[in-house]
Amino acid sequence: MIYLSALTLGLLGSFHCVGMCGPIALAIPLKTNSWLTRITGGLIYNIGRALTYAAMGAVFGLLGRGLVMSGFQQWVSVIMGAVMILSVITPSIYKNRFNAEKGVFSFVGKVKLSLGKLFTQRSYGSLFFIGLLNGLLPCGLVYMAIAAAIATGSASGGSLFMFLFGLGTLPMMLAISLIGNIITLELRKKVTKLIPYAIVFIGVLFVLRGLSLGIPFLSPPEKAMTVPVEQIDASEAKPDCCH
Dihedral Cα 162, 45, 107, 181, nearest 10 deg: -100
Which pLDDT score, from 0 to 100, does residue 228 have?
44
Nearest to 145 by CA among 26, 43, 17, 23: 17
Please, which pLDDT band fits residue 151 given cuts at 50, 70 and 90? confident
Burial class (CB within 10 angstroms; exposed 0-12, middle 13-18, buried 19+) of 193: exposed
Which is more confident, 106 or 33?
33
- Asked whether the whole model's pTM tops 0.75, one would answer no
Q: Which stretches of 68-154 are DSSP H helices?
A: 73-89, 91-96, 105-118, 124-134, 140-152
Residue 236 and residue 155 in contact, taking contact as beta carbons nearer than 8 Å: no
Residue 185 and residue 193 in contact, taking contact as beta carbons nearer than 8 Å: no
Which pLDDT score, from 0 to 100, does residue 106 have?
66
The residue-averaged pLDDT of 182-209 equals 78
The residue-averaged pLDDT of 118-131 equals 89
